[in-house]
Amino acid sequence: MPAYQKFDPQYNFVFNSYYETVGARVVRADRGNLSRPSVDDVYRYRQHVDQEMTSLHNSGQLDSAVSEIIIRGLNHEQQHQELLYTDSKYILGHHPLLPVYCHEEIFNQQQNAAEDFLTIKEGVYEIGFAGTGFCFDNELDRHKVYLKQFEKAKELVHNGEYLAFMEDGGYRDFRYWHAEGWDWVNRKNAAAPLYWHYIDGKWMHYTLSGLQGVDFSEPVCHINYYEATGYAAWKEMRLPTEAEWEIATDFFRMKKNVGSGQAVLICLIRSISGQVPLAGTMVNSWSTK
């Protein structure tokens, strides 16, 4: 828009340490030497941006190229919001008083049904983004992959199942762990998922709504790759590859949970013919619940 005025001409330089195409940038190694804007300045900057974006939206001057940039920016901003939730939970979850971030439930809960498996036949499948909406560049191009027949659990592993692994000594038996994973267990003295606390004979976990009892019917979350592969080994199964995960989610309702902010953690695979290496297997441990 011709009449647009920058909030602060220096911000383009101060906040750019990646993109050569948008002008001069800060050397990444020097970012820590920069002074940050004050909280008041941040709020004023946000108000300025909101007002200008609203004006642009109402101006009728949004062509397809500009709209595409805005949509990409909104999706990128969502990534930052996820990180802010995650960082806030990590900081508050390690505070001695375990303070409440918000009393309202931020993410919907999901309960799992009994364990059941879906058979995916051997064959050539297509993976990658297919559609006309937004996607990130790493979801392209759509391409073909060959998969051996396998069985994939229809439900995510829930807290009750993971507790059985813990109570069976899973964190004390090196047979279930990768070498690096076993080193991590011993170095961190790990015995339960992140944010779990055993208090007065009951398992509790820290949420953004404060300390609550663990719901053993909910999907387990806040475990890392080592823990996920350890659990899978204990079950005498494995984790899905990226291609297996994407193909299988087309077949049942788990698809609606992927990328929704809900816990997407352990999904088990039973190989029908031969063993598939663990390298490259999928475990998505992001959840802010």
Q: Is there a contact between 151 and 162 (Cβ–Cβ < 8 Å)?
A: no
Q: Which residues pair with 125 in a beta bridge?
A: 145
- Residue 3 is given by DSSP the state T
Per-residue pLDDT tens for 185-214?
999 999 999 999 999 999 999 999 999 999
pLDDT of residue 288: 44
Residues with Cβ within 8 Å of residue 73, at least 6 apart in sequence: none
Q: What is the mean pLDDT of the chain?
A: 84
Give the mean model confidence (pLDDT) for residues 4-22.
Answer: 84
Quick one: pLDDT band at residue 276, thresholds 50, 70, 90?
very low
pLDDT of residue 17: 78
Which of 9-13, 23-27, 230-234, 252-256 has the highest mean predicted lDDT (pLDDT)?
230-234
Distance CA 179, CA 15 (A): 40
Per-residue pLDDT tens for 61-116?
888 899 999 999 999 999 999 999 999 999 999 999 999 998 877 665 665 555 68
Any idea where the domains of the chain sit in the sequence? 1-60, 63-289
* The Cα angle at residue 238 between residues 233 and 243, in degrees rounded to 5: 165
Give the mean model confidence (pLDDT) for residues 16-41.
Answer: 84
Look-up: residue for tokens 């108000």?
47
pTM exceeds cut of 0.85: no
pLDDT of residue 106: 65
Per-residue pLDDT tens for 45-66?
999 999 999 999 898 888 889 9
- The tally of CA atoms less than 13 A away on the side-chain side of residue 172 is 4
Give the mean model confidence (pLDDT) for residues 22-29.
Answer: 82
Quick one: tokens of 64?
């397809």
Predicted confidence (pLDDT) at residue 228 exceeds the cutoff of 70: yes
Q: What percent of the chain clears pLDDT 70, i.e. is strictly above it?
A: 84
Q: Which position has the higher pLDDT, 272 or 154?
A: 154
Give 61-101 as a 3 state SS string. Answer: CCCHHHHHHHHHHHHHHHHHHHHHHHHHHHHHHCCCCCCCC
pLDDT of residue 275: 42
Amino acid identity, position 87: D
pLDDT of residue 109: 60
**φ, ψ of residue 283 in degrees (nearest 5):** -145, 120
pLDDT of residue 61: 83
17-31, 39-53, 147-161, 192-206: least confidently modelled range: 17-31
pLDDT of residue 114: 56
pLDDT of residue 20: 79
Distance CA 130, CA 142 (A): 7
pLDDT of residue 190: 98
Quick one: tokens of 124?
């050539």
Quick one: pLDDT band at residue 217, thresholds 50, 70, 90?
very high
Give the mean model confidence (pLDDT) for residues 258-269.
Answer: 50
pLDDT of residue 38: 93
Quick one: pLDDT band at residue 282, thresholds 50, 70, 90?
very low
Predicted confidence (pLDDT) at residue 183 exceeds the cutoff of 70: yes
